[in-house]
Structure 1
Amino acid sequence: LMEVAGSDESAQYRMDSRSWRIAVQKGESDDLAFAGYEVANPAALQEMTERLRQAGIQVETGNAELAKRRGVMELISFQDPFGMPLEIYYGATEVFERPFVSSAGVTGFVAGEQGAGHYFYVVPSLDEGLAFYTGVLGFQMSDVIDIAMGPDLTVRGYFLHCNGRHHTLAIAAAPLPKRIHHFMLQALTLDDVGHACDRLDGMDDKTIDSNLRLPTNADRTASCLTTTIGRHVNDHMLSFYCATPSGFELEFGWGAREVDDRSWVMT
């Protein structure tokens, strides 16, 4: 990624022509702090505001200072049923005149209309989560699969899309200490994935508070790679996973198939 703003409290990173896509900020929880979703224009934002309020969700509007910090024209803020801070906005800042350049030599990322990537979100109630994200926010179901998250833990994951990306959000109920299990970035080339895997394979795992279910005698100075390169059965992404210092994981991949709602069949 390309750092574009930073201080002792926070940093912002670019991955395409947007002024920023990912923010890292100092906090006590080492967890996902907020997520933002884009709509096309003021009318679409007003429609979402009304839908949320009709569902009994408290919505904050008119926060010009927050909109300025986010680099958008207007936004609304609210929480999902589990207290996760969410924002919906329109009019994000574009910086086409300053091309994205990766300090690590990554060719680029699949972003644009598909957004920054996806995140896997752990919720206490699947029924409430699905009702909110599909019934209120309007996400569509891509598919449902059972996921082995450890030798003694298998969970059912629900994969949801709101654009051409196979899933922008996946949710599951799992006994994990953090609300985020992982987030995903999709590179433009397979070489980008291989080079990133090579760089991380020599990096120690510095995780302290982790989602990973390690045995008590596990070597915590081992490589930060948690899953080597392989292909997913649902979105066909070729990717690997690594532990972040915050205890959740990063998926770095390439080659995912896209969803067309005119022909997509849920499985």
Structure 2
Amino acid sequence: MTTQPANATVFGAVHLGYVVIETDRFADWRRFGTDAIGMHHDSLSPDLMRFRLDDQECRFLLTRGPAEDVVATGWHVDDHAAFERIEARIRAHGVPCTRGSDEEAALRGVERLLRFPGPKGITQEIYTNPKRAAEPLRMLASGFVTGDSGMGHVALTSTKPAQIRGYFDTVFDARLTDYIDETISGVKLKIRFLRVNERHHSIAVAAVRGLPLDPIRTRVQHLNIQAATLDDVARSYQRVHELGFDMALSVGQHTNDRELSYYARTPSGFEWEVGWNPIVIDESTWEPTTHQGISTWGHLPVGQTVVDKLAQFRAGARSLARPELTVPALSGTGIPDD
């Protein structure tokens, strides 16, 4: 039997599998997830609940606590060989790994759970063999796109974007898909889009150009899930409005991945993008480019006031005194801070 070398790529064998959110707003999150977005809900205890998008037992695990934020992201690794290559890389860089307990793995509906530090204090978890739920889906949406592309993407804001890019390159062999340059309220942003499989991006990293500011209070700026149909996007958009949840950005289409989407504001404060029909990357032909502007049309702010903008600037000012958490040992040295 031949074995692959330790430096063999894991690109394509890694998929965003679940997200762990810590919140004290369980009632609001249940309404948001089931009645507005249209996901399947399972209540496990007064302090634990899950949302499903498909036949996997868990796509979002909500735990009771004060963070009001994403605290962990889980990555499905296709096989034990790739899992062991990732673990070996992390340990070789002197970064501690912790085996998840049987109870923790069961809550996430997975086997062979391993966790380790990630950028911005978000714990990264890898696992194999997601468990299939015994009960059929009960949800308002007709379905969501997961499979080989994973379940969507995570978007971060950062004062150290090159280090985040280096981290995911070191750990998952992430590839740069493209960039977007955008100016919002006079602030110039550069956004990097990183992929670990055929999905256009599983990680997006936005940075303020020329200033060490992070204008977002939460560790994540938004989470994305992909609806099965355009009708699902339209119906959930209507439900978000009717149920009184805040809408961050109206329906629009992105310049780079061509996804049609909208952004709602979650009960914890970060944003939630529901999208449809993004492009799939062809590795044989793709070349990174830079796009001017986030959207070709739409994605307009909804209900944003001067007070909201001032609060965002205050958050950015506070970030100057709060060092951003990184994992230097895994952040690489060969990635240019472009």
Q: Tell me whether 1:129 sits opposite 2:164 in the alignment.
A: yes
How do residues 26-175 of structure 1 correspond to structure 2 at under 5 angstroms? 26-61=64-99, 63-95=101-133, 98-102=135-139, 104=140, 106-148=141-183, 150-173=184-207, 174-175=214-215
SS at match of 2:90: helix
Deviation at 1:161, TM superposition (A): 1.1
The residue aligned with 1:218 is none
Spell out, residue by residue over 1:54-86, the C-alpha distance to the aligned partner (whole angstroms, 9 max, x if none): 223211136333223322120211012442211
Alignment of 1:251-262 (within 5 A): 251-262=273-284
1:44 is matched by which residue type in structure 2?
Answer: A
Match of 1:228 in 2: 250
**Hey, what does 2:222 align to over in structure 1?**
182
Q: Distance in 1 between matches of 2:235 and 2:119?
A: 40
Q: Which runs of no fewer than 5 residues in structure 2 stay unpaired?
A: 1-38, 208-213, 290-338
Moved more, 45-54 or 132-141: 132-141
Change (3 A) 1:5 1:163: farther
Corresponding position: 1:5 with 2:39: no
Amino acid at match of 1:192: D
Asked if the contact 1:143–1:234 (Cα under 8 Å) also holds between the matched residues in 2, the reply is yes
Equivalent residues in 2 for 1:12-31, closer than 5 Å: 12-31=50-69
Higher helix share: 2
2:243 aligned to 193, 203, 210, which one? 203
Q: Helix, strand or coil: the match of 2:285?
A: coil
Does 1:246 pair with 2:268? yes
**How far, CA to CA, are the matches of 2:50 and 2:182 in structure 1?**
32
- Report deviation, 1:53: 1.4
Count matched residues.
Answer: 245
Q: 1:22 touches 1:116 (CA, 8 Å); kept in 2?
A: no
Instruction: Evaluate the alpha carbon distance shift between residue 54 and residue 81 of structure 1 in structure 2; reply closer, same or farther with a 3 A threshold.
Output: farther
| 1:32 counterpart SS class | strand
**Normalised TM-score (structure 2):** 0.68
Retained in 2: the 8 A contact 1:145–1:158?
Answer: yes
Equivalent residues of 1:55, 1:136 under 8 A apart: no
Bigger shift: 57-66 or 172-181?
A: 57-66
Structure 1 vs Structure 2 CA RMSD? 1.7
CA shift for structure 1 position 189? 0.7
Q: How far apart, in 2, do the equivalents of 1:232 and 1:201 lie?
A: 22
Secondary structure of the 1:36 match is strand
Match of 1:215 in 2: none
Aligned to 2:281, the other structure's residue is in SS state coil
Supply the AA of the counterpart residue of 1:235.
Answer: D
2:275 and 2:269 map into 1 onto residues whose CA distance is 19
Please report how far the alpha carbon of residue 141 of structure 1 lies from its aligned counterpart in structure 2 after TM superposition: 1.1
Letter in 2 for 1:146: D
- Displaced runs of 4+ in structure 1, greater than 3 A? 62-65
Q: 1:62 to 1:117 in 2, by over 3 A?
A: closer
Q: Which amino acid aligns with 1:202?
A: E
CA offsets 1:185-230 (integer angstroms, 9 cap, x no match): 111111111111111223334xxxxxxxxxxxxxxxxxx1121111
Structure 2 counterpart of 1:63, one-letter code: S
- The percentage of counterpart residues that share the same residue type is 31
| Counterpart amino acid of residue 254 in structure 1 | W
Does the CA-based 8 Å contact 1:123-1:179 persist in structure 2?
A: no
Letter in 2 for 1:226: A
Assess, with a 3 A threshold, how the Cα gap between structure 1 residues 107 and 62 changes in structure 2: closer, same or farther: closer
* Aligned 8 A contact 1:4 1:20 in 2: no
Aligned partner of residue 128 in structure 1, secondary structure: helix
